Amino acid sequence: MNAPLFFAVLIALVFAFGIAMFWQEARRMQHPEAIYGVDDSIEFIWDGLLQQDTFGLKKSDVRRILEWEMHYLQQPKLWEEDGQPIVGGEAAARYAQERALAAGFAYEPNQIFAVMDLQAAYLQAIGAIGEVVDSDE
Residues 23 and 53 in one domain: no
Residues 51 and 7 in one domain: no
The count of residues in the chain is: 137
Do residues 122 and 45 lie in contact, with contact meaning Cβ atoms separated by under 8 Å? yes
What was the pLDDT predicted at 99?
92
Kind and range of the H or E element at 76?
Answer: helix 76-79
**Cα–Cα–Cα angle for 22, 23, 27, nearest 5°?**
115
Amino acid at 82: D
Kind and range of the H or E element at 35?
Answer: none
Q: What pTM, to 2 d.p., does this model score?
A: 0.67
Residues 120 and 68 in one domain: yes
Do residues 86 and 69 lie in contact, with contact meaning Cβ atoms separated by under 8 Å? no
For 26, the domain range is 1-32
Residues 16 and 83 in one domain: no
Q: Is the pLDDT of residue 102 over 90?
A: yes
Residues 28 and 42 in one domain: no
Q: Is the pLDDT of residue 31 over 60?
A: no
Q: Has residue 133 been placed in a domain?
A: no
What was the pLDDT predicted at 14?
78
Do residues 74 and 80 lie in contact, with contact meaning Cβ atoms separated by under 8 Å? no
Name which of 125, 118, 105, 98 is nearest 49 in CA terms: 118
Provide the domain count of the chain: 2
